[in-house]
Amino acid sequence: MADIKDLENKIEELKSEIEIIKANMPKDQLSMVVMSGDLDKLLASFIIATGAAAMYEKVIMFFTFWAIPFLKDPNKKVPKDIISKAFELMLPKNTKGLKLSKMNMCGMGPIMIKHIMKKHNVKTLGDLVKVASDMGNIEIYICQMSMDLMGYKWEEMINYPNMKSAGVAKFVAEAGQSKATLFI
């Protein structure tokens, strides 16, 4: 009788251990930090995000520093202090002002890559953002600290249905539960 009781206790212990393992398993999601504001890296970020969204239940994109200006709506104007205005003057206003990380060639590189993309029916960056938005499982978090440092306001960001402001702790928590994490 003691052997049966020991066996039952061992089974209960194993069930508890299995529940702990299940609770700590990664979620079916990809998390990525998007730090670069370069055209090619933003394209790669959204190509990866939309591709991963077809595989994973959820994709988290955490935009910080030089990637944030891409999410700014150039048609939305808000009052700025002198430092914020300086950042705005120096950073691209939309996809037309984005440079390539390599072979920018005084602005000819982006023109050439956009021409090649069109020739090969590759979606534009704007089209990829629309696809990401339509998919519904790609969430964008904008680093609040970076927004504060660079003088960006929430009111001037693009309309994207799954976009929120967050701190690094939110990203680290999401990344810690993800099957894969990228830095672009």
User: In CATH, what number is assigned to the domain containing residue 45?
Assistant: 3.40.1260.10
Q: Is residue 111 part of a domain?
A: yes
Q: What is the mean pLDDT of residues 9-16?
A: 88
Q: Is residue 19 part of a domain?
A: no
Q: What is the mean pLDDT of residues 92-103?
A: 81
Q: Which alpha helices (DSSP H) does 91-143 contain, by range? A: 108-119, 125-135
Q: Using pLDDT thresholds of 50, 70 and 90, give the confidence band for residue 22.
A: confident
The residue among 128, 114, 153 whose CA lies nearest residue 51 is: 128
Q: Is residue 3 part of a domain?
A: no
Do 63 and 142 contact (CB within 8 A), yes or no? yes
Q: Is residue 43 part of a domain?
A: yes
Q: Is residue 126 part of a domain?
A: yes
| Domain span including residue 52 | 27-183
Q: Using pLDDT thresholds of 50, 70 and 90, give the confidence band for residue 94.
A: low
Instruction: Tell me the one-letter amino acid at 66.
Output: W
User: Cα–Cα distance between 160 and 21 in angstroms, integer?
Assistant: 35
Q: Is residue 6 part of a domain?
A: no
Q: How many domains does the chain have?
A: 1
Q: Is residue 8 part of a domain?
A: no
- pLDDT for residue 23 is more than 70: yes
Strand order in the sheet with 178-183: 163-166, 138-143, 58-63, 27-34, 178-183
User: Cα–Cα distance between 155 and 132 in angstroms, integer?
Assistant: 21
- pLDDT tens for each residue of 39-92: 999 999 999 999 999 998 999 999 999 999 999 998 998 999 998 888 888 887
- pLDDT tens for each residue of 125-183: 999 999 999 999 999 999 999 999 999 999 999 999 999 999 999 999 999 999 999 99
Q: Is residue 173 part of a domain?
A: yes
**Host H or E run for residue 138:** strand 138-143
The residue among 63, 72, 49 whose CA lies nearest residue 135 is: 49
Strand partners, 68: none
